[in-house]
Amino acid sequence: MKLYIKQGCAVSLDEPDNVEAEGWSPVDLPADCSPIIVTLCEDITLVKYHNKTDALLIVFPHFKGARKGKALVVKLHDMPVTTRSRELSHIVFAKLLGFDTDQLSNRSRNAAIMVVRSMLPDVVRGHIGGDVNGLAFYLSRNSLSLYKDKKQIIKLSHYTLLSRNIKDLLL
């Protein structure tokens, strides 16, 4: 089963005419699942599945060198049941910030997180690595502070500076 998506929130389950000429990006979906398509903003779509915790994050990156209209597809794990776009936006950002429990590559994560950040408010709070043994984060504009047991352990001038190695050392 394929989903066709185009920048600007256009989604089709049927193959459109002139797929490449009109900028449609095909995304492979599992055949045994019913997709739940949630548009988070013009450049971000989340595809969830009934009775599954995995989801596909489909992002149209903003960085230089990206082919116009080419979608980046990132698989996210352990997503909650909700379909509320504001809540999902915050959850997706936290998952990307924490490398989705080390299941994301740097390239995919860095391209997606910048687009997701652009749709969030100036101040964002959340957790990475789990609520119990994880880290709390506070993001103000692009500055990121990480806390463990309510004590600030690191402050970075930009959220993209949080690498997997730094995160692993802090957890």
Contact 97, 137 (CB under 8 A): yes
In a shared domain, residues 57 and 127: no
Angle at 52 between CA 46 and CA 128, to 5 degrees: 65
Please, which pLDDT band fits residue 63 given cuts at 50, 70 and 90? low
Provide the pLDDT confidence category of residue 91 given band limits of 50, 70 and 90. Answer: very high
User: What total of structural domains would you count in the chain?
Assistant: 2
Task: List Cβ neighbours of 82 (8 Å cut-off, separation of 6 or more).
Answer: 88
Same domain, 82 and 107: yes
Structure tokens at 30: 């599992």
Looking at the fold, whether 93 and 153 belong to one and the same domain comes out as: no
| pTM reported for the whole predicted model | 0.85
Three-state SS at 99: helix
Q: Are residues 155 and 72 in the same domain?
A: no
Based on the fold, state whether residues 104 and 85 are members of the same structural domain. yes
Q: Up-side HSE of residue 84: CA atoms within 13 Å toward CB?
A: 5
Does 109 lie in the same domain as 79?
A: yes
pLDDT per residue as tens digits for the range 96-131: 998 877 777 778 888 889 889 989 999 999 998 776
Residue 129's domain comprises 121-171
